[in-house]
Amino acid sequence: MNILNIHMRILVAAFILIGCLSIGFGQQGNLSNIPEASTSAHQMKKSASVFINSLTRPQQDAIIYEFTPENRTNWSNTPPFVHKRPGLRLASLTNSQRQLAHELLRASLSSQGYQKITGVMRLDNIHGARSLAELDRNGPAEDDRIYVREEAESFGAGNYVIAIFGNPSLDHDWGWVIQGHHMGASFTVSDGHTGFTPLFLGATPLVLEEGVLAGWSAMSHEVTRGFELVQSLNSAQRAIAIKSESPPDGLSAGVGNKDNIATNQGLHAANMSVQQQRLLQILVEEYVRNSDFDAAEAQLAAIEEAGWEELWFEWQGQAENLKEPLFYRVQGERILIELVQRPNHIHTIVRDPANDYGEYWLNQIVNEEYSSSDRFEAAIEVYEMSRSAL
């Protein structure tokens, strides 16, 4: 073999390796087949720029922040009274500005993801109205937080907050977040790549119990997909997958717990049947496909590169009634999904352990400083201090 052939083989191998690494870390490797105008990165940039241009200068000053890890991790799923978010509330926007904010949402999500996020906001209107009505009828319960009325008054779609990090028109790297009660949706654009993790979504009520829309649910399949998988397991597999008869109160890897990722717990996908592995993939896709098509396909390619058979599935709680309390986790090198269910109330989170907030693309180490528990404890302290000052 001559020197030229050796060099050519080295070059070919290098290009193959680079391509695999690019796909493995969520780079949209097949974008050459997609017109640039149809990519989520382009559509998000365009929609964000139009939205920003619709704002007054004071509004722009309130919504635009530096593209730093500290700013981007300042989110939570707690009620607005508990966590005063940076950014602009939807209620503070004009109707035309809100329409442009929804254009940005649609540019960042699939149709299913858009319907889930807007459904969570609509449910918070219902939850707020119910909470206040219950307080008016019966007053606070013994175990309610001391600021229960103020908390209930802060529920509702108008109190979801948008913040933008960086300059979408000029910067290769930028991001944005929409957050509020039961929601923290973070989006990253980095040199044409788009990321959608972390993504926290919750719902209460999960299913409407009364009225003309009785039976409607904004998050209709998350519990069902996991339940179908655990129901498919035989007794030996269940003995491995089900770690506890009692589900936890919250998500292990929720807000503020980015690095609290349990590894290799539960049932290894390599020990599932082909049909069970397919159910596991359907479960993962229920979450990943909330993002727009190219971001979802890139994330699924990254999971496949790491190996679908290398995922782990863990369950906690009873496994016979999909309406009762339960918990499950799907964990792998490139995906983490957790769901916890209380009666008619769920919390979920999706993370990419290797690339949350686009940290691999950005060559950053991103840490989350505050958990939801931290936010609640701080709110109690501030509330007590304000009351004592009266």
Buried b (16+ CB within 10 A) or exposed e, 177-189: bbbbbbbbbbbbb
Nearest residue to 109 (alpha-carbon basis) of 30, 201, 202: 201
Amino acid at 5: N
CA 299 to CA 277: how far, in whole Å?
Answer: 18
Q: What are the residues whose beta carbons fall under 8 Å from the beta carbon of 185, sequence distance 6 or more?
A: 108, 117, 177, 178, 179, 196, 199, 200, 201
Q: What are phi and psi of 101, to 5 degrees?
A: -65, -40
pTM: 0.90
**Strand pairing category for 64-65 and 193-195:** unpaired
Cα–Cα distance between 299 and 289 in angstroms, integer?
Answer: 9
**Whole-number Cα distances in Å, 22 to 107, 190, 299, 390:** 23, 13, 11, 59
* Burial annotation 1-11 (CB, 10 A radius, 16+ → b, else e): eeeeeeeeeee
How do strand 199-203 and strand 345-351 relate by DSSP bridges? antiparallel
Asked if residue 198 has a cis previous peptide bond (ω within 30° of 0), the answer is yes
pLDDT for the residue numbered 20? 41
Instruction: Quote the pLDDT of residue 328.
Output: 98
Beta bridge partners of 351: 336
Q: For residues 379 and 386, give the distance between their C-alpha atoms in angstroms, rounded to a whole number.
A: 10
**Which helix (H) or strand (E) element contains residue 314?**
strand 312-317
Residue 381: the pLDDT is 73
Domain ranges of the chain: 34-197, 218-354
- Helix (H) / strand (E) element for 368: namely none
Cα–Cα nearest to 101, from 61, 67, 142, 53: 53
User: Which tokens go with 34?
Assistant: 């997609």
Q: Does the bond joining 35 to the residue before it have cis omega, within 30 degrees of 0?
A: no
Per the prediction, the chain carries an average pLDDT of 91
Alpha helix locations (H) across the chain? 3-24, 40-53, 57-63, 69-72, 95-108, 111-138, 148-153, 222-232, 235-241, 274-288, 293-306, 359-362, 372-388
Q: What are the phi and psi torsion angles at 13 (to 5°)?
A: -60, -40
pLDDT for 16 beyond 50: no
Q: What is the spatial distance between Cα 101 and Cα 20, in angstroms, rounded to a whole number?
A: 36
* pLDDT at residue 360 is higher than 70: yes
The pLDDT of 153-160, averaged and rounded, is 96
Q: For residue 5, is pLDDT > 70?
A: no
- Residues 6 or more apart in contact with residue 63 via CB below 8 angstroms: 52, 55, 87, 88, 162, 163, 164
In the predicted structure, residue 25 carries a pLDDT above the cut 70: no
Query: Two tokens at 147?
Result: 């600021």
CA distances from 238 to 235, 298, 316, 322, 341 (A): 5, 32, 11, 16, 19
Q: What angle do CA 109, 114, 120 make, to 5 degrees?
A: 135
The answer to whether the CB of 331 falls within 8 A of the CB of 314 is yes
pLDDT in tens, 254-299: 999 998 887 889 999 999 999 999 999 999 999 999 999 999 999 9
CA–CA distance, 337 with 330 (Å, rounded to integer): 5
Instruction: Provide the pLDDT confidence category of residue 3 given band limits of 50, 70 and 90.
Output: very low
In tens, the pLDDT along 52-83 reads 999 999 999 999 999 999 999 999 999 999 99
Tokens of 178: 């929409």
pLDDT higher than 90, residue 2: no
